[in-house]
Structures are given as C-alpha cells and as structure tokens.
Amino acid sequence: MGEVHAKSIELPELFIREVEARCPGLKLVSPRDPAARGSHVSFAFEHGYAAMQVLIADNVIGDFRAPDVMRFGITPLFVNEADIIDAVDKLERILEEERFKDAEFQKRELVT
C-alpha cells in the first residue's frame, strides 16, 4: 500500500509539472499540496469544455466543471507515467492546433 500511496502523489505531481511547463493558458485550480488535493487535478481554461471534449475524443478521459475547469482523476491502479506523458502530449497538441475551436466540440451536452 505504501508504493500505491507514493504513486498517488507522484503521478498528479508529474501531471501538474508537465501541464504547467507545456500548456500555457491553463491555470492550476487544485490545491498544490498533495495532502489537500487528493487524486484529482483541475486546471482552468477559457475553452475548458471544448478542450475536454477533444481530449475525450482522443481517449483521455476527464470531466468538466463550469464555468471553465477541466478535471482529471489520476490513480496509480489504472494510470502510469507513460499515460501521464501521453495525456499531456495530446493536451499540448490540442492547444497548439486550437482543435477546441472545431465546431464539433462546441456543442454542450448534459455531461462530459
């Protein structure tokens, strides 16, 4: 259990570092302290809903909280370092290409 707990801190920390280094325009809104944050990491982004829809289409599953928060659940039982890097790679590409502006991702559904 100690190893699982350690990974439950390390993986969200890696995600935060990578997003902050590579994804300008996103602002961490989760507590920075792992003890206060738990396994969820949230970033605010003006186009958060549409960006989350693109991520979901690219098989990175998260959810959205109004008005602009993208929320990611990170658990070491299902996610590893490679998954984190892959998710941030996809997010970085989505932002660079501005895929969140595509019409198909603008329609708001009841749930993300």
**What is the domain partition of the chain in residue ranges?**
2-103
Axis crossing angle, helix 81-97 with helix 48-57, rounded to the nearest 10:
120
Question: Could you tell me which residues are beta bridge partners of residue 40?
Answer: 73
Long-range Cβ pairs for the range 80-83 (8 Å, 24+)? 80/11, 81/11, 81/14
Q: Output the tens digit of pLDDT for each of the chain's 112 residues.
A: 888 888 999 999 999 999 999 999 999 999 999 999 988 999 999 999 999 999 999 999 999 999 999 999 999 999 999 999 999 999 999 999 999 999 999 888 776 6
pTM of the model: 0.93
The reply to whether CATH 3.90.1150.10 applies to domain 2-103 is: yes
Nearest CA among 69, 105, 95, 73 for reference residue 8: 73
Query: How does DSSP classify residue 108?
Result: P
